[in-house]
């Protein structure tokens, strides 16, 4: 059975717009797949990051980012959770979008001023930098490692552009590049609850758990299925009944 960490805590399938899991991928191309809805809003390179099975995506903080095609609403009704590591300090964004100075949906974990930024409609800058872990924004709350850290203030105006990963989408152009490894990104069109944030955080921290489907497909197409059927006295045709 496949693990669907993005639905932990009873989150309905329709709530998850995208689930990117580069830590569970078998290649850079495979890492772009939206596991919640493959083929819809797959990530795509603006300038591709590097990828490794142990660390997921690695962004250089200067040129590399991914596009998603997902434009959130600017009213605190969405949520985003990111597992990351090895983030470098800077006014830099792990993922998100921004319009002017009054609309935000983004996460900035390690600022030179010693704070973290949670953006969702409005913004809030509490102290407590993060170089690794799981950071989230859900409704009007920001979270670090599944624990509520801040209440967002202010009201967003304007229409947000689609979300970028590895930087902010500022009016649809890349800005505020983040140097970091990113293992997973989940995006929701609802304000998930504190209990759900904790459940997803715990599930994210256990990745990779999901079976590697492309490897399984390769095993089948390599003739293993035929050998399996023969070993158990089954036809190699579509009916699969004993010979």
Higher-scoring residue by pLDDT: 75, 42? 42
Give the pair of three-digit tokens for residue 127: 């102290």
- The pLDDT tens digits of the residues spanning 43-56 come to 999 999 999 999 99
Q: What is the pLDDT of residue 121?
A: 87
**pTM of the entire predicted model:** 0.86
Peptide bond into 208 cis (omega under 30): yes
Instruction: Identify the band that residue 239 occupies on the pLDDT scale cut at 50, 70 and 90.
Output: very low
Q: Which residue(s) pair with 44 in the sheet?
A: 67
**What single string gives the DSSP state of each residue in 30-56?**
HHT--TTSTTSS--EEEE--EEETTTE
Domain shared by 204 and 217, yes or no: no
Report the percent of the chain where pLDDT is more than 90: 77
Instruction: Please give the residue that has the higher pLDDT: either 174 or 171.
Output: 174
pLDDT interval class at 2 (50, 70, 90): low
Do 84 and 61 share a domain, yes or no?
yes
Span 189-205, average pLDDT: 98
Based on the domain organization, do 53 and 137 belong to the same domain? yes
Whether 152 and 122 have beta carbons less than 8 Å apart is answered as: yes
- The pLDDT of residue 210: 52
Structure confidence at residue 100 (pLDDT): 80
Q: Which two tokens stand for residue 112?
A: 């030179």
CB 126 within 8 A of CB 117: no
Same domain membership, residue 18 and residue 82: yes
Residue 226: give the domain boundaries.
212-243
Say whether both 160 and 243 belong to one domain: no
Indicate if 137 and 226 belong to the same structural domain: no
**Beta 103-108 vs 95-99: how paired, if at all?**
antiparallel
């Amino acid at each position: 059975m496949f693990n669907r960490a993005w639905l932990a805590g009873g989150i309905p399938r329709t709530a998850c717009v995208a689930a990117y899991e580069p830590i569970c991928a078998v290649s850079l191309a495979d890492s772009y797949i939206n596991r919640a809805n493959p083929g819809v809003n797959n990530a795509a390179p603006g300038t591709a990051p590097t990828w490794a099975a142990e660390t997921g995506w690695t962004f250089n903080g200067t040129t590399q980012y991914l596009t998603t095609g997902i434009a959130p609403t600017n009213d605190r009704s969405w949520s985003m959770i990111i597992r990351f590591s090895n983030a470098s300090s800077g006014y830099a964004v792990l993922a998100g979008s921004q319009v002017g100075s009054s609309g935000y949906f983004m996460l900035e974990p390690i600022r030179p001023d010693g704070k973290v930024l949670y953006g969702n409609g409005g913004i809030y800058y509490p102290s407590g930098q993060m170089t690794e872990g799981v950071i989230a924004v859900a409704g009007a709350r920001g979270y670090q490692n599944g624990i509520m850290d801040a209440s967002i203030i202010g009201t967003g105006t304007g229409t947000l552009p689609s979300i970028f990963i590895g930087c902010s989408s500022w009016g649809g152009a890349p800005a505020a590049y983040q140097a970091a490894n990113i293992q997973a990104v989940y995006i929701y069109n609802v304000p998930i609850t504190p209990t759900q944030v904790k459940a997803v955080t715990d599930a994210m921290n256990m990745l990779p758990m999901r079976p590697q489907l492309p490897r399984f497909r390769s095993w089948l197409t390599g003739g293993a299925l035929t050998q399996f059927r023969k070993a158990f006295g089954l036809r190699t045709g579509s009916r699969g009944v004993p010979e």
